[in-house]
Amino acid sequence: MTEKLGILAIGHGSKLPFNKEVVTQIADYISQKHSDVVVRAGFMENSEPTLQKAIDGFSGTGVTKVAAVPVFLASGVHITKDIPAILNLDDNGCGTLEIDGREVPLCYAGPLGADELIADLVFKRVQEVL
């Protein structure tokens, strides 16, 4: 059986549209660059789709494993407590999702964190403004 990866991009959400737009665009960029991957975006609060609705969006796609990744810069309560509880993750950050009546493995990535790519992006924004 061929593996088919699903990516669950998790955003914080906001009453304003900007967070949703950014997280959704990031998910779209991943989809465009990796056409063999199924990407869904879901949000913790104040934005749709919710995390559960995004998970439901994998139905009918044939994904055989899912990686959940918080599109957050750093860890906080959502990253360390709320999301692992919602996804019912074990101590190793893994679990399963039920998709189309099948148990599909799920693993949870860390937040974006400090990375040279982020530093390059910050420098790019500086150059744009100057």
Catalytic residues: 12
> What residues are paired with 11 via a beta bridge?
43
**Smallest Cα–Cα separation from 48: which of 73, 85, 21, 79?**
21
Question: DSSP character for 96?
Answer: E
The angle at the Cα of 70, spanning 39 to 45, to the nearest 5 degrees, equals 95
Share of the chain residues as helix, strand and coil, in percent rounded to the nearest 5: 35, 25, 40
